[in-house]
Amino acid sequence: MDYVTILAQAVETASSGAAEEAVVPMESFWNYITTLNQVEAVTFISFGVVCLLYGWRVFKILVVISFALLGLFLGMSVTDKIVGLNNQLAGGLVGMCLLGILSVPLMRWAVSLLGAIAGGIISSGIWYASGLTERYIWAGALIGMVAGGMISFIVFKVAVILFSSLSGASLIVVGSLALLYIYPDTSARLEEIIFTKKWFLPTLIMAPTLIGLVLQNKFVKDSKDWDM
């Protein structure tokens, strides 16, 4: 066996190992971004700005929407995989209504849960940006969820600001990337950076999230009539 063949097999083995190690569904995420049109992208950005700056004002609506979407996903999954029924839409609608309604009387618990999820997303994003093994990214997410959950249960305001800032930042980033992808001059370069620079996307989301945390905290302090 010649050296060229050995080298080719080594490269192939390393590539397959890296592919098996990849856990973060970047390709699915990127495919979703590229399907957005200009109107949808601008809508994402507009709604994201509202969440980023004034999430503390509309957090109850955000909580209901978040849990309704979670119920829709869980309902469709349960209907398809566990129950075995063909009508996924019906199961999704039932789950959406159920969790959406339950989030109203359990608002504080729902906010704390969203704060824990936000903490998990942030810590897993830091894990991914640091170039650590994706196979164990759940460990980083678990640390963030525990920390975010504890803080959210202790200080309710922190949970509200945390999940609304992260939600707003994510919407802004998704909408902005979708707009940039529309233009041929930036689409190829942008796609290359997304898939080759692991730190790029997490940093892109963390920066506006930090801005939202600072600004919302200031707005909440200046507002005397905010109902927690």
Tell me the pLDDT tens digit for each residue of 90-104: 778 888 999 999 999
Q: Is residue 185 part of a domain?
A: yes
Q: Is residue 76 part of a domain?
A: no
Contacts of 143 (CB under 8 A, 6+ apart): 123
Could you tell me the two tokens for 114?
């969203």
Distance CA 209, CA 174 (A): 13
Distance CA 25, CA 188 (A): 19
Whether pLDDT at 22 is above 60: yes
Residue 111: name the closest of 67, 70, 172 by CA: 67
The domain tally of the chain equals 1
Q: Is residue 164 part of a domain?
A: yes
Q: Is residue 63 part of a domain?
A: no
C-alpha torsion angle, residues 115, 120, 121, 123 (rounded to 10) = 120
Q: Is residue 67 part of a domain?
A: no
Q: Is residue 121 part of a domain?
A: yes
Query: Which pLDDT score, from 0 to 100, does residue 73 have?
Result: 86
Query: Which pLDDT score, from 0 to 100, does residue 9 have?
Result: 45
pTM: 0.81
123 to 28, 63, 202, 217, 223: CA distances (angstroms): 21, 21, 10, 21, 30
212 in Cβ contact with 161 (< 8 Å): yes
Q: Is residue 216 part of a domain?
A: yes
85 in Cβ contact with 79 (< 8 Å): yes
Query: Which pLDDT score, from 0 to 100, does residue 134 have?
Result: 83
Exposed (0-12), middle (13-18) or buried (19+): which is 126, by Cβ within 10 Å?
middle
Q: Is residue 168 part of a domain?
A: yes
